[in-house]
Chain A
Amino acid sequence: MNTKNAHAIHITKDKCIGCVHCLSVCPTRAIRVKDGKATIIDELCIDCGECLRVCPHEAVHSHTTSFAALDVFAYKVAIPSTVLYGQFGTAVLPNEILSALRRIGFDEVYDLSSICELNCAATEEYLNEHPRPRPYITSTCPVVVRLVQQRYPSLCGQILPIEPPREIAAKILRTILPKAVGVPADKIGIIHLTPCPAKMVSINSPATLAKSYLDGAISIRDIYSQILSSLRKSEEDALMRHLFPETQFSGIGMGWSLSGGETRGLKAHRAVAVSGIQDTMRVLDQVEAGLLQDIDLLECTVCPDGCVGGPLEVENRFLAKSRILELVAAAGEHAVVDHKDVSRLYHKNFLSFDHPVSAVESRPLDHDPTKAIRKAKRREKIFADLPRKDCGVCGAPDCRTLADDIVRGYAHLEDCPFVKNKKEKR
């Protein structure tokens, strides 16, 4: 796997003023301020985007695909996250949004709600066939997968090995489109539209596939204004779409982007949905301690309220959520997927991971156990002398992390302004 520069989150040094906002929110303590600029420790970053949300200087940006970069493809296909349906107020219907995407240059656009329903049916079948272990954890959120690989390695085998809807949709399209449109497979670009920076990472270095079926991910924030101006120019078209909708949306899949949406369609299994990075970690800690074994499926999404709280959306998440709930209510229990078809695909292993999720190498204090013990003891001694104010001035997010950095050789005790001050006074 390519770990160098595989991350979607980057710091623009020119804009960073070295404040400590990002330091304190990073759940894996992956950020340090060095020489007045924030830097990210690649092996710790999970691309959750928490730093991107809080940076007051827009110094944190995400590498997603630009619309212009799609020109290399002769045939461009968009598969937008269902979050997109919640971005344009209550008067705009999903069908209008899909046709607006066609007008701005996509040759074909596919709704994901039906594939979400398909995924749910396949998940149900998998749970039926695999009574153990419990709970399984869904793989839709790439940050959760990364978090498990890094912090909860013993749970790797509990990630339910069915690919998320975006990959399944792209795989189906890769299979059928070359023949259907008469364009060679490598000239067809299949692009996800998303509010999530981590999707780019899951495309560039997938955790469970030899290669992603997607060619890129465009941030909703980047493409929003183009969609909006296209929607404004086409009221006539909107009227026609209202009268004659061409896409059948799935009632079960429509709410997929809301916390609990992935598991809403399960009929015979007990599911629990958790959202937000801190709560996700709290629950994964409990699962690792052997709890929650009476739960069949655990849906974890690190963004608040689910993907609808993704950092790259435009509409505030409460309005977006309310709009999507309206669409869910309007679609009702409308099913568009035949379970027998899903079952056939499932048994062909068409929906499965290429390979299981594997743990990433941990980061012990030392690979020699005796030295690791010595360093851990030294770390405790150093920590005892630190002020425990967690001010971030030293460049580490908190005193405990500074002590850790010191024994690993990345920082010095004098980096702490309180320690330094005391020494100088002597």
Chain B
Amino acid sequence: MPAAEAVFRQEFAVKGGDFAKAGVVACRIKELLKDLGLNAAAIRRAAIAAYEAEMNVIMYAWEGRIDLAVSPGEVHITVDDRGPGIVDVELAMTEGYSTATPEMRELGFGAGMGLPNIKRNSDVLHIDSRTGEGTRLKIVILTNGHGTT
């Protein structure tokens, strides 16, 4: 990340269990990236990654914070939550593995694609989790220059 004055930052709060607001932060991030003139492919990847990360906080954590930082070449999305943490990160990265409750699945969530989907749509994904305390996700998406394509 370049010097602070060349970076646009915004923070969003996410409440655990607040399914009614599912996707609101990801949408806001998408709109911001459009205003910043990122190309459509980068915006879509960032929107998907942000959505999955936001849903993880809503589904599993008590509360969380999503920090967006955009410089001309990179989008950083950092998600910090207070929650149960991920016991086995490697297992959680497996497609289809999920600890979602039957209620969540009934709502169409918890297919076990969250983290793998973030990985697929980002260039760097770093997961730091402490059981019983919380999780920090660092997501980086390289924007490959700006444009409208």
Contacts and interface: CB of A to CB of B under 8 A. Distances in A.
B37 A369 contact: yes
Contact of B51 (A290, A361, A369, A370): A290
Given A359-B148, A373-B6, A373-B72, A285 B23 contact: yes
A373 B70 contact: yes
B2 to A, nearest CB: 9
Contacts of A362: 34, 37, 40, 148
Interface residues of A, number: 25
Nearest to A153: B40
A364 B23 contact: no
A132 to B, nearest CB: 15
- Give the dominant DSSP class at A's interface: helix
Interface in A228-259: none
A374 B9 CA distance: 11
A380 interface: yes
Contact of A154 (B5, B44, B117): B44
A290 B47 CA distance: 9
A186 interface: no
| A359, A364, A367, A380: residue with the most chain B Cβ atoms closer than 10 Å | A364
A286 interface: yes
B92 interface: no
Interface string B1-19: 0000111101000000000
Contact of A364 (B26, B35, B41, B72): B35
B98 interface: no
Interface in A272-296: 285-286, 288-291
B105 interface: no
A372 B117 CA distance: 29
A365 interface: yes
Interface residues of B, number: 29
B47 A373 contact: no
A27 to B, nearest CB: 13
A364 B36 contact: yes
Given A286-B23, A359-B148, A361-B148, A376 B44 contact: no
B48 interface: yes
Contacts of B91: none
Interface in A329-378: 359, 361-367, 369-370, 372-374, 376-377
A363 B108 CA distance: 34
B27 interface: yes
A362 to B, nearest CB: 6
A27 B41 CA distance: 24
Contacts of A369: 36-37, 72, 146
A365 B146 contact: no
Contacts of B6: 370, 373
A376 B148 contact: no
Given A154-B41, A290-B117, 20 more contacts: A154-B40, A154-B43, A285-B27, A288-B47, A289-B48, A359-B148, A362-B34, A362-B37, A362-B40, A364-B34, A365-B37, A367-B146, A369-B146, A372-B35, A372-B37, A373-B8, A373-B36, A373-B71, A376-B32, A377-B8
Interface of A: 153-154, 285-286, 288-291, 359, 361-367, 369-370, 372-374, 376-377, 380, 404
Closest 6 A/B residue pairs (Cβ): A364-B37, A289-B51, A369-B72, A154-B44, A290-B48, A373-B8
